[in-house]
Amino acid sequence: MGLLLKITCSDCSYEKRLTIGPVFYQLPDGNQLSASVIRAWCRTCDGVVLAEEIPSEEGLSRMLQRLESGEPLPPLDERLRKVWPDEPTFRAEFIRRTEQQLRWRRSRSSPAHCLTCRGNEFEPFAGVPFGDRALQHPSCSGWLTCSPGARLSLAGFPLLSPEGAPIGTFPEAR
Ligand SMILES: [Zn+2]
Ligand SMILES: [Zn+2]
């Protein structure tokens, strides 16, 4: 499932549509790892883009320690409970995924990329809910806001190499 986002500026006619959906890294062992993708202003693209967000190694290590120490997890919602029948199964899977993410993070050498131009010159939107004023438009100093639009079914998932390079054809945001 994907979500169409419409980005507009409070002070000028800038408008951009982005399709946001699940993105995965193709790992050398054949597994796929879910990538964290954020909205950002790219100076090279001169526009709003999707970009990678690379978690810190320390943050992932801390998360793993907490999971392994048996710290209680937030209660599973209905959707998760359908997939993970009980807490120990969910915890084991969470640990497996965090270990996988940590291995990838330790081998990752390049910084986060803009998914459009592969550059690194971008500024992320602040982590605030959709619709909030989140980022100043560099060319007019107005505020860029995102509003969620239609849900889309995407044909296939975009894949990235462990270093964030697109593999095959990467569905371009419309
Ligand atoms: Zn503007
Ligand atoms: Zn870019």
Tens-digit pLDDT string for the chain (174 aa): 678 888 999 999 999 998 888 899 999 999 999 999 888 899 999 999 999 999 999 999 999 999 999 888 777 777 777 887 788 888 999 999 999 999 999 999 999 999 999 999 998 876 554 445 568 898 898 888 888 777 777 666 678 999 998 887 655 544
Ligand nearest to the CA of 115: 2
Ligand 2 geometric centre to CA of 85 (Å)? 42
Using a 10 angstrom Cβ sphere, with 0-12 exposed, 13-18 middle and 19 or more buried, the burial of residue 23 is buried
Ligand 1 geometric centre to CA of 65 (Å)? 44
**pLDDT for the residue 21:** 82
Q: Is 26 helix (H, G, I), strand (E, B) or coil?
A: strand
**pLDDT for the residue 173:** 42
Three-point CA angle 128, 133, 134, nearest 5°? 55
Tokens 């100093």 belong to 141
Ligand 1 geometric centre to CA of 139 (Å)? 6
**pLDDT for the residue 38:** 86
Q: Which helix (H) or strand (E) holds 7?
A: strand 2-9
Residues 34, 113: contact at Cβ < 8 Å? no
Ligand nearest to the CA of 52: 2
Ligand 2 geometric centre to CA of 63 (Å)? 31
Ligand nearest to the CA of 8: 1
- Please give the DSSP secondary-structure letter assigned to residue 128: -
Q: Is 152 helix (H, G, I), strand (E, B) or coil?
A: strand
Ligand nearest to the CA of 119: 2
